[in-house]
Amino acid sequence: MSERTYDPADTALLVVDPYNDFMSEGGKLYDQIKDVADSVDMFGNLRKLIPAARSAGLKIFVLPHRSYREGDYENWRQRTGPQVMVMEKKVFERGTWGGEFHPEFGPKKGDVVVHEHWAQSSFANTDLDFQLKQHGIRQIILVGMVANTCIESTGRFGMELGYHVTLIKDATAAFSREAMQAALEVNWPTFAHAILTTPRLLAEIG
C-alpha cells in the first residue's frame, strides 16, 4: 500500500445528488438547504474540492437520486416522507432544468455516473459497489447532499461492505442546522473511518 492516505489508485470521490434543484439558485430545494450550506461554505468548498480531486487523479463517481417521472411512487405500499415530497414537488424531474446536473458539480468526461437510487443509500439497488470494484476502489470520500440522509446512508452501507469511508463535513448540507449537527456529531462518528474538513482533505490529496 502507498504511504499516502488517499492513493489515487484506490480512492474515489463520490458526489451525491448534484442536481440543480439542490445546488442552483432557483432550484426547488435550494432555499431549504441554503442556510446550512452557506454556514459551512459548502458551495465554495465543492468548487475547490472536486477539481482538486480530479487533478490529483482520484476517480469521480456521481451518485444521482431517481430523476422524477410521472407516476413514480404513486402505487407504492410504503413511501417515506422524502419520497412523498419528491412526488408532490416533482423534485429532480427528468427533462427539466431542476433535474439536470449542476454545471460545476455534475459529471465530466471520464467520470462514472452510477444508477439512480430510489431512497437514500446509493448502494441499495444500484451498480455502485460493482462499479467501485471494477475500478479498484477501496476508499470512498463522500460529498454532496444530504448530510443526514443520502450521505449518511451511503457511507454507512459502504462501511458494511468493507470500504474505508471518509466524510467531509463542510462539503455537505442538510435541511436544518439540527439535522446537520446530528449527522456530524452523533451519527457519522459511529461508522466513518475519517471525518475531515475540505482544507484537510486538500492537504491529504496534495
Q: Where are the domains of the chain?
A: 11-205
Topology classification of domain 11-205: Rossmann fold (3.40.50)
Q: What is the pLDDT of residue 4?
A: 62
Mean pLDDT of 92-97: 97
pLDDT(177) > 80: yes
How many Å apart are CA 73 and CA 177, to the nearest integer? 29
Q: Classify residue 97 by its DSSP letter.
A: G
Return the H-helix or E-strand segment holding 153. helix 152-160
pTM over 0.75: yes
Res. 152 pLDDT band, cuts 50 70 90: very high
Q: What is the pLDDT of residue 206?
A: 84
The residue with greater pLDDT, 1 or 28, is 28
Indicate the average pLDDT of the chain: 96
User: Cα separations (Å) of 49 from 67, 139, 166?
Assistant: 25, 16, 14
Describe the crossing of helices 30-40 and 42-55 by its angle, rounded to 10 degrees: 70
Sheet of strand 139-145: strand arrangement? 112-113, 59-63, 11-16, 139-145, 164-173, 194-196
The identity of residue 176, as a single letter, is S
pLDDT(6) > 60: yes
Length of the chain: 206
